[in-house]
Amino acid sequence: MNKQIKLLQSKEELIEQALEICLAKIQEAISQRGQCTIALAGGNTPRPLYESIATQNLPWDKIHVFWGDERYVAPDHSDSNQKMARQAWLDRVPIPPTNIHAMPTGAGDPEADADSHDAHLRDFFQVSPGDVPSFDLILLGMGGDAHTASLFPHTDALQISDRLITVGNKDGQPRLTFTVPLINQAGCVIFLVAGADKQAALDQVFAEKGDEMKYPSRLIQSKGELHWLLTGVNI
């Protein structure tokens, strides 16, 4: 693992830094493998990053977009992570609709939707049962409780190691989420963390020893590059 922590002076600088890494990774993946696979985060912090990516002239047909987690709501619901990313980025660029791999939320059964997206990922990446595909880039946020994606403290999702997608649980509400092994297999993971309300969680996540079940972001130890881009906190 190649872990880098950067403390930026402002949200604008954080987004600039994130954009730089994203563009480099997109270019690298396309030149090496002919396509780039990216998983997006929800929350407010990444929105300006998505808006900036939308202004770039990129080979959109070679970029495949996924989500690291999704609330269990319809795609046009105001809580939908997909909706936010479509508004800020995907609806503004000529990306082929088949390159947008949203998490399904329409079965009325989160387990069934998790199964079908798990199968979709296995099929897309052509991985054998038991193998874990490697995303080129995964963007993550972190909540004040140290959750990331929809891996919430003390929930079953944290321990799932034989699936790519599972059902997370926020205060009894189901979410779909990437599992820890899938995130950790990525070539590059970027955490975007802004604001003093993240300080206490960050201290626990960066502490040498700690409880992964209580502070789930501690579980993210990706095999590739791991970037923590921070602003508004002390380290």
Beta strands in 126-224 (DSSP E): 137-141, 165-170, 173-178, 188-194
Whether the CB-CB separation of 3 and 228 falls below 8 Å is answered with yes
| Adjacent-strand bridge partners of 227 | 4, 190
Q: Is 42 in the site for ligand 6PG (CB under 6 A)?
A: yes
44 binds ligand 6PG (CB under 6 A): yes
Residues in the chain: 235
CB of 73 closer than 8 Å to CB of 44: no
Stretch that binds ligand 6PG, among 13-21, 24-32, 96-104, 140-148 (CB under 6 A): 140-148
The residue nearest ligand 6PG at its CB is: 43
Site membership for ligand 6PG, residue 174 (CB under 6 A): no
Segment 142 to 171, residues that bind ligand 6PG, using CB under 6 A:
142-143
Q: Judged by CB, which is closer to ligand 6PG: 71, or 117?
A: 71
* Rg for the chain, CA atoms, rounded: 16
Nearest-5° angle of CA 225, CA 226, CA 229? 130
Is residue 216 involved in binding ligand 6PG (CB under 6 A)? Answer: no
Residue count, binding to ligand 6PG (CB under 6 A):
8
Which pair of tokens denotes residue 21?
């890494």
**CB of 103: closest distance to ligand 6PG in angstroms?**
13
Asked if 141 interacts with ligand 6PG (CB under 6 A), we say yes
Q: Which of 14, 38, 41, 95 binds ligand 6PG (CB under 6 A)?
A: 41
Query: What letter would DSSP give residue 182?
Result: H
Closer to ligand 6PG by Cβ: residue 46 or 224: 46
Shortest spacing between CB 42 and ligand 6PG, in angstroms: 4
Least Cα distance to 185 among 220, 212, 159 occurs for 220
- Site for ligand 6PG (CB under 6 A): which residue of 17, 25, 26, 45? 45
Stretch that binds ligand 6PG, among 12-20, 38-46, 114-122, 207-215 (CB under 6 A): 38-46
Cα distances from 82 to residues 25, 72, 193, in angstroms, run: 22, 11, 20
User: Looking at residue 102, what DSSP letter applies?
Assistant: P
> Which positions lie near ligand 6PG, rule CB under 6 A?
41-45, 141-143
